[in-house]
Chains A and B, each alone.
Chain A
């Protein structure tokens, strides 16, 4: 029996209604999940009732519930990663690359388990298992949409689209009723539809060889997951009857979130570009273009904080390091070990120079040596993932890129703190003396 371990005290009965329905829905899945038009044999079995109590060993179960701030950060990070991995899964299916799709699916399973661990910390194991089942199935629907598009099978695509569309409509209405309009059906529907539409549209765009459009949609769906993660974290915390702490959405927390999102996207788009580049995929220019957009956004942030001159220095360094990764990829494809070593040498130079740049810009708040170590780790992970990718060890490639993405958030946290403190140190102190009192009576009276 599905049960919320610690439901919202004011909505206990409503949540229970939803939860029971979810449980029933999953149970029903077992009775209607045969696959008359499934892909070739060998695919994992669809979820079953038994699967809902499967061994969760290996899941990143939180030892204790994270703080509100930690929960926000982790949900944002994981939901953003979910979007990227789903995009990779569907594109692999569009290209008919079963190996890659399988390993992307494995990474998605880990991502789902990691999200499930957060749900478990909040609501218990049964709720987490139900969550993971539901999450798994919605990815399945998206995957099968891509399958239908790839196979030009209008039946499969229309069924997948209709079911996702119906889910959005009916669940929005259902939740509206279940909560006595506490959760507006219109708002829920809008957010759900946006998430699904982004992912479906990027499949369509990619299949139509509109790679630029597909990457633009990838960026949008990734960005959309961050406010969603924040709102979900807020709901979990307040649903427990607690108030949100002030630091939950403090300017510092917002900067950490935004910088993490942007640096995480950098890592993922670099992975996309390197993988597309080394296998000659036609989407390489679009992937590189998306990476350029990310670089431009980071440069704009540096300019606004440290000025135009620093922005110019930053962009030169940053672009050099991206070029070195691309040069390494080119050398790897050509099995040119000398060129690979040369590219690695360029990256080593970047690690030192960029660490010095950031340390200076933040007036020593970031230590050069620690930064250099962090950049070395970034370099090693991106190079390892492309080495493994080139060797067709996709599972390891995905595992490493998974970690490379998460590593950027740790770096972002430290950088955001230092940047914020640097700006604060140079900001005006106190309020502004912008009145001489001539209209004091009118102003005080409102």
Chain B
């Protein structure tokens, strides 16, 4: 079974004709949620669609990437003309049974380098709704991995998606695009990590059951928090949240007693104002033998007395503090976009260099096949009519003409491989294909018997 790691090393690629990746898709910028829902693919549908695109001959390789914010079809057409994206769009609308008019102006189409750049930007999180978000890289890895496993990909998309995964990793490792928390809930948890380090084995107390508090709890759970207690004025609501999050519900009356245990306190009790006074928190710190407490106050009005912020070993952040940090982080991420784009450009250039080399080798192979075919026809025409040509003499003629073909091809081969500028080389490849009529080769034309 092929794997992502060895797909790149699966031998030299052999392609016929010009190599171009085609893309059609829609995302959160071009289509409303209602439309995105209708063109989304489940995992199975994505595989079916890729297989169907190939079966119908629209493309020779296909990968379907579908997340909550985007649905994209990537393909490598056998015949690289721009109409392939029309065929892909027809397929998309037919697959989801949507009138084509509904997608008009809602999709984007890219070919060749633009499609590759788009894929790399998506993998880097630059095209995401939340700039630099990490999930998209995993989603691309999954979509590609499944397509690879089911034989929907080929050398071109393997290379393109391997490159995308590499770019995504590099951008996150070498820039701040994916660093720093971008949501209030995550900022709260990350700040707690600045105090305690790993949150494994730590304990938390949740006051109230607000939406952001739930998100904080989820982040805490993901970080291996050991003990989670929930307290709410309504014990039933506390119990519900505790059950959902795998914690323990406690009654409102036992709140003060419970304050002695947690390292992290998250409050989001609506409309009741101060729940945790300075005095209560002083007693809590004393009961904890002076160990630090990190308090996230998400309540409006605030649930924690503001003057508690001055307490020794107590770190208090309210919703505005966290909001300001998120805003600061957003600006920091945006300022990193040029560096991320530079990394993307570097990898796009690498891909293009590889593509050019592939096409050079492919066009020379096609020419060689063409010359050999013509030679075979000529030999049949002239030698079969002539009498007295022994097999040895025939073989000698074959050897001489083979050497002639290689001599004729050596110059264009060298020029295509080492010529100046990628654009010039690609232009020469296109010209050669056009002049010799080898835009589209069929497999049977390659080698004469």
Are A and B genuine complex partners? no
Residues of B within 8 A of A (CB): none
